[in-house]
Chains A and B, each alone.
Chain A
């Protein structure tokens, strides 16, 4: 078994390979040269690599590699229907479907749209239920555009998904995408006249625990947890976090009470809090947070974006962090100690990890 970390950067994709010990990393790349890789994954169901690829001149698309990154092919069909009068702006997140739907994938994009592929990423069809959502005229773009950036599946129910869109909020479907309900009760939008609206919240990152229905989100306005599928949210950033603002979020696959965030000073000064690259951990469901940054830079004014942190499924838990300064860090002991496995890369936009059997 080998572990591969996929670091999507502003200029291409870099892969880091290691064994289960995760001490030595072998750098490979860049792949997809010239493309901004907003997110890339190893689909552990079939070993295919998928990437959300964007270019200032040549637009937004997706690529996949069937041979571990040696060669890449671009999606044959990925765009919005003519009658929508919308154009695909950027692709943001690709998510494998259920284990029992082996060629099925989801892809989130701007402007606030979701696609599904039933042929392993060759062609993508827009999810009409979200495209034509009755509240769409009340959504507006955040600083990164109106991006659908989070897609979380329910392992027990193939029809149930949660997504996050900036700045429309969190939505849930119970019927595979035909209908979507906004589920933002209790999450703040302090940049709006009504700070607790039905929708319009700027969710930055949404994750579901692996073996628990618990949801976590890092929002523009705080860190939240939901234990009822998003029907209500509890704010968790009052005890130990230097800032409620941030983008990156990682969970522990065996422990739903454990989460990791990287606080950012605030919306108007998007650098790491307190002038250091600090990962904060909670082990009590968000009741308290503690700094966990052995080996991370003590002096840093960088940024960690919404896809900038990932966790693996090994024991002890491995964590991975990519910064806009071009560094990638890895921890093989649940974030207690970190090693810089690469520096001077282009700005890191995304970090993911997968296991190759």
Chain B
């Protein structure tokens, strides 16, 4: 079981819920279990470039990417990049 925390706009899109507990073996599997997976990934299955993913406080890119195993991980946090106007 891993906890996924959503930023405010995605929580609104998820029906007002910002915390999800999901069963998943990898980070990608956990994100694909979300009701906002279409806002996290584009239609070609790529992580949207300005969505940052942290696993227990560490950028997922430093943990082997989205396919990284979740064994022992407790929390995935999604953060929109600081971009735009």
Contact = CB atoms under 8 A, between A and B. Distances in A.
A56 B9 contact: no
Contacts of A55: 9, 39
Interface in B42-78: 42-45, 48, 50-51
Given A57-B51, A74-B13, A79 B83 contact: no
A79 B42 contact: yes
A59 B50 CA distance: 10
Contacts of A82: 43-45
B49 to A, nearest CB: 9
A45 interface: no
B45 to A, nearest CB: 8
A342 interface: no
Given A10-B85, A34-B9, A74-B13, A57 B50 contact: yes
A184 B73 CA distance: 59
Task: Pick the most buried of A10, A58, A74: most chain B CB atoms within 10 A of its CB.
Answer: A58
B10 A58 contact: yes
Task: Pick the most buried of B9, B43, B50: most chain A CB atoms within 10 A of its CB.
Answer: B43
Contacts of A57: 48, 50-51, 80-81, 83-84
Interface string A68-99: 00000010000110100101100000000000
A61 B9 CA distance: 14
5 contacts: A34-B12, A55-B39, A58-B10, A58-B13, A58-B51
B23 interface: no
Contacts of B12: 33-34
Interface in B1-54: 8-10, 12-13, 38-40, 42-45, 48, 50-51
Contacts of B38: 61, 74, 79
B84 A56 contact: yes
